[in-house]
Structure 1
């Protein structure tokens, strides 16, 4: 089926107090694995390309974007295409023509006033091109290998009062919030601040987004969706699955040099990871309503 606007997937899910999963991709194998996993789970999905992934491909946006769009066109489930963590305005201007329906503009490392000004202008540019816009307030640490902020550091968590004003001033369509998750975690040990999430959900009238979800245990993820998260970003978990499968295969077959021999099990491992996350993130509401922060076990 053709690409579906990613913003529509998020707003529809959030309106029904559910969430849509968004997976960051780097290679064609990532794209194929995300689509395959979504088809197995029978769930809509968002394929995300980050600015860092574009840099990895020599600064060229179109090759990976075109591959993702082609995979989506052949998918049996709705697939949206999202450009993630954009800081470069030139890249932002390319998004719509490259097939993206939404973009996450990230000025969260700037001082608050500068973040507001930059995000407001980015939202103006993006909306003029028909793009749905996500932004971030607070700082979800761990980007580009940087250490996470201390949980009590100024700006480390999203303030609900600031969040309400930020959304109104910038005109964004969704807000990524800092409630305890961290980018690039390879262990699932993050503990979320569910009380803060409840205050944010009450303060903000746009869908809330959880970044750094690879490090969040299943129970915490389910509770976050039940508490108001409408979009859940996953990236590192796919890379952990891919790398583990490649290492295991080459340990068993050190003589092999054909990348198809080790990329096939790597792609399968990533697809399985997608299925497992979708089972948690897109679980039915009755099951999610039974999950409260007090019931989170961290499994």
Structure 2
């Protein structure tokens, strides 16, 4: 079916009091697994390609974007294409020509004032072209190349009053907030601050986004969506963990095989099962 816009999927989820999951695409197999998992769950999903994934592909967005879009269009599930954690303005400007309906513009490493200024410029550029813009306020941490960050340290979490001012001054369509999760967690031990999520929901007029959801237990995700008001749930590391585990298991039992299709297939299936599992938590 045709690509659906991220804004449309997020708005529908928010109106119905449920969540919408967004899964990171690194390879073609990631995209295929996300589509298969969404079809299996009978649910919509978002395929997102990060700036780090683009760097992995030699800094070239076109090929992986075209592959993900082709997989999404061939799927029977409603799927959107999103460009994630974009710090480069040059990459931001490629979103429109490569078919993305949304971008997460990440100026969170900058000072608050510079974050507001550069994000407002990104929003103005995006809205002129019909592109939905997400941004981040607070310190989720855990991204590759960043120093370790305690998600519970003072000053890390998003302040509701500051978040309200930030949304007003930038015009963003959604806000990723720091509420106890962290990127790249391989164990699901994160504890979310549901009271803070509720306060942010009341203070901020746009949908809230949870990054680092791979490290959040099922019951915490379900509560964040159904009771606390979180809408877009980002998942990345959990797919890589599933893929790598399945590949390792196959190669441990088949030590002389050399055909990558033999071990990539179970890895892709493990990711599809993981996708379906997360989608079941969306309410």
1:18 Cα deviation from its structure 2 partner:
0.9
Q: Deviations over 1:197-254 (max 9, x none)?
A: 0000000110000000000000000010021111000000000001001111000001
CA distance in 1, matches of 2:251, 2:21: 31
Structure-2 residue corresponding to 1:27: 27
Unaligned runs of 5+ in 2: none
Structure-2 residue corresponding to 1:229: 230
Conservation of the 8 A alpha-carbon contact between 2:141 and 2:151:
no
CA distance in 2, matches of 1:160, 1:169: 14
Q: Deviations over 1:126-164 (max 9, x none)?
A: 11221000000001110115212452332x100000000
Conservation of the 8 A alpha-carbon contact between 1:176 and 1:211:
yes
Unaligned runs of 5+ in 1: 284-299
Change (3 A) 1:150 1:74: closer
The 3-state SS of whatever aligns with 1:144 is coil
1:78 Cα deviation from its structure 2 partner:
0.5
1:279 Cα deviation from its structure 2 partner:
0.7
Correspondences of 1:181-200 after superposition (within 5 Å): 181-200=181-200
Change (3 A) 1:241 1:145: farther
Structure-2 residue corresponding to 1:17: 17
Conservation of the 8 A alpha-carbon contact between 2:151 and 2:180:
no
1:165 Cα deviation from its structure 2 partner:
0.5
- 4+ aligned runs moved over 3 Å, structure 1: none
CA distance in 2, matches of 1:168, 1:11: 19
The 3-state SS of whatever aligns with 1:239 is helix
TM-score, with normalisation over the residues of structure 1?
A: 0.93
Conservation of the 8 A alpha-carbon contact between 2:142 and 2:149:
yes
CA distance in 2, matches of 1:145, 1:269: 27
1:110 Cα deviation from its structure 2 partner:
1.0
TM-score, with normalisation over the residues of structure 2?
A: 0.98
Structure-1 residue corresponding to 2:116: 116
Number of aligned pairs? Answer: 281
What is the RMSD computed on CA atoms of the aligned residues? 0.8
